[in-house]
Amino acid sequence: MEDIIAALAILVPIFIAAIALRWVRIIRLNSEKQIEQNQEIIALLKESGKRGSQ
């Protein structure tokens, strides 16, 4: 029984760290996509602003 508790005490933090790293990676990838989308939106707004003032 003590061996199971010791194994869990070692594996649970490793499992939590793996989930946290995966979560951070997903957030990072999504933020990069959002930055690209924001840049496209800004470019389109600038283009439509130039067209509207003509």
∠ CA 19-3-14, nearest 5°, is: 15
One-letter amino acid at 18 equals A
How confident is the model at residue 5, as a pLDDT? 92
**Residue 52 has what pLDDT?**
73
The pair of structure tokens assigned to 3 is 């061996």
Average pLDDT over residues 26-41: 95
Structure tokens at 52: 């509207």
pLDDT-derived band at 49, boundaries 50, 70, 90: confident
Structure-block tokens of residue 38: 């924001």
| Dihedral (CA of 20, 23, 28, 31) sign | negative
Domain boundaries, the chain: 20-54
- Return the amino acid letter for 17: A
pLDDT above 90: percentage of residues in the chain: 83
